């Protein structure tokens, strides 16, 4: 999904929750990015709500 200049409230909330869960599990952004075959930059954008997160990635993270 292309980056947004202004994330929606829903996307920002999802990103905040993803970051909270990642930090609670003790993982670094680069570790999660590698697990998702992504980059640290893209992971940061997802957590900031700038880039969208696919349902497939959410399922992979939840299963992990």
Q: Does residue 56 carry a pLDDT above 90?
A: yes
CA distance 24 to 61: 13
Quick: pLDDT tens for 31-46: 999 999 999 999 999 9
**Would residue 2 count as lying in a domain?**
no
* Residue 42, domain extent: 9-63
- What residues contact 55, with CB distance under 8 A and at least 6 apart? none
Question: pTM of the predicted model, to two decimals?
Answer: 0.81
**Would residue 30 count as lying in a domain?**
yes
**Would residue 52 count as lying in a domain?**
yes
**Would residue 1 count as lying in a domain?**
no
CATH number reported for the structural domain that contains residue 17 in this entry: 1.10.260.40
Quick: pLDDT tens for 12-23: 999 999 999 999
- What domain count does the chain have? 1
**Would residue 3 count as lying in a domain?**
no
CA distance 64 to 58: 10
**Would residue 4 count as lying in a domain?**
no
CB atoms within 10 A of CB 32: 23
pLDDT band per the 50, 70, 90 thresholds, residue 61: confident
Residue 23 DSSP one-character state: H
């Amino acid at each position: 999904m292309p980056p947004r200049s202004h994330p929606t409230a829903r996307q920002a909330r999802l990103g905040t929750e993803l970051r909270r869960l990642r930090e609670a599990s003790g993982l670094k952004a680069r570790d999660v990015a590698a697990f998702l075959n992504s980059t640290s930059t893209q992971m940061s954008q997802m957590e900031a709500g700038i880039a969208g997160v696919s349902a497939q990635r959410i399922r992979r993270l939840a299963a992990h």
